[in-house]
C-alpha cells in the first residue's frame, strides 16, 4: 500500500465511522435528540467496513495480574493477560490488538471484543482511555447477536459528546447526570451487576444506581468492550462472580463423600482439608453443570521428591459418581506445578490449570509449598482456567457427546471431586466455592 493509498484509506475509515457513530457528528446529534430510545449498533453491516491493515499478533509474555492476595482469595480473575487477546472472542474487521500493555482498537468496523462466557451477577472493573472526540463503551450481559442496547444488553457508554446518553449512562435505559468528562485521559469503571440492579463507580465516585424494571431486564450475558469511533484502550480488566456458594464449611466434610475403594485419606485439620496418600477421591454430593469454581490449595512436594516424582493432585468436574471400579470419570483440572527445562511455558503433565489429557496450561504460574488460587469456568463446551488470577487455558471440547468425559463431550451436570493422586500425595484445600452460571 502506497502512502497516498494509506491516507485515502484512513480518510475513508474516519468518514465512515463519523457517519455511523452516534453522538459524534452534528447530523447524528440532531437525530438522537429526536429519538426517545437511541440505539447503538453492536456490529456494523459487513459490507460497510473498508479494508484495514493487518495487525501482527502480540508476542506472549507472562504479566502478573495487578491483584492483591486478598482480591485473589475473594475470587477476582484477570480477563486480560497484559500481552495478548487470549481468552477473548475477537471480531474480524476491526484492528483489535495489544499495544503498550493495553487492549487497543482505532480502525475498522464498529464492533465488540467479547468474553466467550455469559455471566449473571458479578463485579467488573477496568481502566479505559478514549481519545478526544471518540465513542466507546462497556457492554454488560450482552445477548448473542444482540443489536439493541435498550433490549439486548446494558451499554455503559463512554462518549462525552453523546447528546442524550453521555459517559456513564446506560444507553436507552438510564441517563447518568453530572458525570465529569473522561476523554483524553485514563479512568476506571467499577461495575456491580446484582439481580436487576446495576451500580457504576467512576474513579471512586458512584455515578449510577439503576434498577431495571422494564420488560427487557437482562439477567445474564457476555461482557464486551466496544470500538465505535476513535482510539480506545483498556487495561486491568478484572471480574469477580457474586453469590458463590462455599462447598467446604471449614469444620468437617459435610457435603462430601468418600469414593469407594479410596486408598488416600481426607481429613479436616487447622480449618483445611488435608489429603494424603492415594490413589483416592472425595466427591461432592451435589452436582454442577455450568459454573465458576474457585479453589485454594497448597501442594507439598517433599514426599514426591523423596520418591522421585512430581507432586500431583487435581480437581475433577462434571464427573460420573465414583465407584471402586471407576473412581474418576470426569474432566480433570490438573494441580501439578512442575515444568520442563526451566521453562514455565513447558508444563509437565499438562500443568496446573490444564485439563488433563485434553489441553495443557500455557504457563506454570504457581509453585509447590505455597498457597495458590485456581479458578475454572465451565459453560457449555467452553472451558477456561486461571491460576492466581492469570488465564492459562481456553479450550473448546469439540468431541462427540458422551456420558463419560474421558470419551467425549459431557454437558450434563456431575460431581466435583478432589484427588489423592498417589502414595506421595500431600495437599491442602482451604476454600472451595461454586458460582453457578446460566446455560448458554
How confident is the model over 160-190, as pLDDT tens digits? 999 899 999 999 999 999 999 999 999 999 9
| Cβ atoms 187, 136 nearer than 8 A | no
How much is the average pLDDT of 270-283?
A: 97
- Return the pLDDT at 53: 56
Instruction: State whether 217 and 290 are in the same domain.
Output: no
- Return the pLDDT at 351: 98
Number of folded domains in the chain? Answer: 2
How much is the average pLDDT of 222-247?
A: 97
Q: What's this model's pTM, rounded to 2 decimal places?
A: 0.88
**d(C-alpha 21, C-alpha 15), whole Å:** 10
- Return the pLDDT at 18: 37
Where in the sequence is the domain holding 66, given as residue range(s)? 3-241
C-alpha cell at 40: 447503538
Instruction: State whether 319 and 333 are in the same domain.
Output: yes
| Cβ atoms 140, 124 nearer than 8 A | yes
How much is the average pLDDT of 283-290?
A: 98
Judged against a pLDDT cut of 90, whether residue 206 lies above it is answered with yes
**d(C-alpha 200, C-alpha 123), whole Å:** 10
Instruction: State whether 363 and 382 are in the same domain.
Output: yes
Instruction: Using DSSP bridges, classify how beta strands 415-420 and 280-284 pair: parallel, antiparallel or unpaired.
Output: antiparallel
| Run of H or E residues at 70 | helix 69-74
Query: What percent of the chain stands above pLDDT 70?
Result: 87
Instruction: State whether 273 and 229 are in the same domain.
Output: no
- For 13-31, write each residue's pLDDT tens digit: 333 333 333 333 333 333 3
- Looking at 200, 215, 241, which one is the last position of a domain? 241
- Return the pLDDT at 6: 38
- Return the pLDDT at 36: 32
- Looking at 241, 264, 299, which one is the last position of a domain? 241
Instruction: State whether 355 and 389 are in the same domain.
Output: yes
Judged against a pLDDT cut of 50, whether residue 234 lies above it is answered with yes
Instruction: State whether 212 and 354 are in the same domain.
Output: no
- In the three-class reduction of DSSP (H, G, I as helix; E, B as strand; rest coil), residue 405 is classed as coil
Instruction: State whether 154 and 218 are in the same domain.
Output: yes
Q: Residue 385: pLDDT band by 50, 70, 90 thresholds?
A: very high
Residues 6+ apart with CB under 8 A from 34: none
Instruction: State whether 210 and 251 are in the same domain.
Output: no
Instruction: State whether 252 and 165 are in the same domain.
Output: no
Instruction: State whether 252 and 232 are in the same domain.
Output: no
Find residue 175's DSSP bridge partners.
none
Amino acid at each position: 500500500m502506497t502512502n497516498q493509498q494509506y491516507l485515502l484509506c484512513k480518510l475513508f475509515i474516519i468518514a465512515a465511522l463519523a457517519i455511523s457513530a452516534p453522538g459524534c457528528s452534528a447530523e447524528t446529534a440532531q437525530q438522537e435528540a429526536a429519538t426517545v430510545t437511541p440505539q447503538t449498533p453492536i456490529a456494523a453491516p459487513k459490507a460497510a467496513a473498508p479494508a484495514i491493515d493487518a495487525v501482527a499478533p502480540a508476542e506472549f509474555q507472562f504479566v502478573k495480574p495487578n491483584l492483591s492476595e486478598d482480591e485473589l482469595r475473594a475470587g477476582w480473575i484477570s480477563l486480560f493477560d497484559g500481552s495478548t487477546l487470549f481468552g477473548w472472542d475477537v471480531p474480524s474487521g476491526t484492528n483489535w490488538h495489544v499495544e503498550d500493555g493495553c487492549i487497543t482498537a482505532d480502525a475498522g468496523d464498529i464492533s465488540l471484543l467479547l468474553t466467550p462466557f455469559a455471566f449473571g451477577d458479578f463485579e467488573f472493573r477496568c481502566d479505559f482511555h478514549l481519545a478526544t472526540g471518540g465513542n466507546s463503551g462497556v457492554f454488560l450481559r450482552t445477548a448473542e447477536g444482540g443489536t439493541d442496547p435498550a433490549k439486548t444488553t446494558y451499554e455503559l457508554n463512554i462518549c462525552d459528546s453523546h447528546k442524550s446518553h453521555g459517559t456513564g449512562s446506560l444507553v436507552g435505559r438510564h441517563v447518568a447526570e453530572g458525570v465529569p468528562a473522561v476523554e483524553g485521559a485514563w479512568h476506571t469503571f467499577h461495575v456491580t451487576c446484582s439481580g436487576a440492579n446495576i451500580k457504576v463507580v467512576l474513579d471512586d465516585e458512584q455515578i449510577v444506581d439503576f434498577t431495571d424494571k422494564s420488560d427487557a431486564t437482562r439477567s445474564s450475558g457476555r461482557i464486551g468492550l466496544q470500538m465505535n469511533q476513535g482510539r480506545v484502550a483498556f487495561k486491568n480488566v478484572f471480574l469477580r462472580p457474586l453469590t458463590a456458594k462455599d462447598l467446604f464449611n471449614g469444620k468437617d466434610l459435610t457435603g462430601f463423600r468418600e469414593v469407594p475403594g479410596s486408598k488416600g485419606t481426607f481429613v479436616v485439620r487447622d480449618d483445611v482439608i488435608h489429603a494424603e496418600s492415594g490413589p483416592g477421591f472425595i466427591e461432592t454430593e451435589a452436582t454442577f453443570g455450568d459454573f465458576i469454581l474457585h479453589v485454594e490449595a497448597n501442594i507439598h512436594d517433599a514426599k514426591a521428591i523423596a520418591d522421585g516424582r512430581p507432586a500431583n493432585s487435581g480437581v475433577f468436574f462434571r464427573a460420573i459418581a465414583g465407584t471402586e471400579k471407576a473412581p474418576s470419570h470426569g474432566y480433570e483440572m490438573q494441580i501439578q506445578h512442575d515444568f520442563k527445562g526451566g521453562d514455565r511455558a513447558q508444563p509437565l503433565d499438562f500443568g496446573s490449570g490444564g485439563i488433563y489429557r485434553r489441553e495443557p496450561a500455557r504457563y506454570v504460574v504457581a509453585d509447590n509449598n505455597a498457597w495458590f488460587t485456581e479458578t475454572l469456568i465451565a459453560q457449555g463446551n467452553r472451558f477456561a482456567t486461571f491460576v492466581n488470577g492469570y488465564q492459562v487455558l481456553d479450550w473448546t471440547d469439540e468431541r462427540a457427546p458422551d456420558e463419560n468425559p474421558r470419551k467425549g463431550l459431557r454437558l450434563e451436570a456431575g460431581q466435583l471431586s478432589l484427588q489423592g493422586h498417589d502414595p506421595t500425595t500431600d495437599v491442602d484445600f482451604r476454600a472451595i466455592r461454586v458460582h453457578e452460571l446460566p446455560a448458554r
